[in-house]
């Protein structure tokens, strides 16, 4: 699977009220309470074992502690990296701060573990969608398809 294989259109992404949960879609909650949902292309890629989405408001300032830790204060640079790392951590079941301690907001090591991500803007958001394309997680344990 390649990043461009991850569908990303207005039909595949929903941003709205957190009570409008769509069956079969993966979701992420924003700081302002909105719910972001993505419909992964499950039928096109039946071998994928996990799907995830993460989103952040594109213009939101980078939290001071994270800017200090990552040395990135520009939201246009930080949020795409942050959301990609969040997706990788969701897919691999790794706590985000453990990843940050080891890799900062560099998501490239996740590709070696079978993670494929795509980041785009949608409305006022930076949205990253992703898939785990292997049958093991970061610990090497088998992953069962949900």
Residue 142 lies in a domain: no
Q: Within a domain: residue 39?
A: yes
Domain that holds residue 128: 3-132
The total domain count for the chain is: 1
Task: Give domain status of residue 41, yes or no.
Answer: yes
Residue 51 inside a domain? The answer is: yes
> What are the residues facing 37 on neighbouring strands?
14, 27
Asked if the structure places residue 105 within a domain, the reply is yes
Distance CA 15, CA 122 (A): 9
Residues 6 or more apart whose CB falls under 8 angstroms from that of 9 comprise none
pLDDT digits (tens, 9 = 90+) for 95-115: 998 998 888 888 888 888 889
* Tokens at 137, concatenated: 């997680």
Tens of pLDDT, residue by residue over 10-62, are 788 889 888 888 888 999 999 999 999 999 988 888 888 899 999 999 999 99
Any domain includes 140: no
* Residue that the structure tokens 């246009």 belong to: 76
What is each CA distance from 128 to 35, 62, 92, 131, in whole angstroms?
A: 14, 17, 15, 10
Q: Is residue 144 part of a domain?
A: no
139 lies in some domain: no
Task: Please determine, for residue 134, whether its predicted confidence score (pLDDT) is greater than 70.
Answer: no
């Amino acid at each position: 699977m390649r990043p461009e294989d991850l569908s990303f259109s207005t039909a595949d992404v929903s941003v709205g009220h957190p009570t409008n949960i769509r069956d079969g879609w993966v979701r992420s909650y924003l700081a302002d309470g909105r719910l972001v949902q993505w419909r992964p292309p499950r039928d096109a890629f039946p071998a994928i074992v996990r799907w995830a989405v993460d989103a952040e408001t594109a213009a939101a300032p980078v939290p001071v502690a994270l800017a200090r830790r990552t040395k990135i204060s520009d939201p246009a640079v930080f949020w795409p990296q942050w959301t990609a790392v969040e997706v990788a951590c969701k897919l691999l079941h790794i706590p985000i701060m453990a990843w940050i301690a080891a890799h900062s907001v560099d998501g490239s090591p996740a590709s070696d573990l079978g993670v494929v991500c795509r980041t785009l803007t949608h409305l006022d958001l930076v949205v990253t969608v992703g898939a785990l394309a292997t049958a093991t997680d970061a610990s090497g344990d088998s992953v069962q398809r949900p």
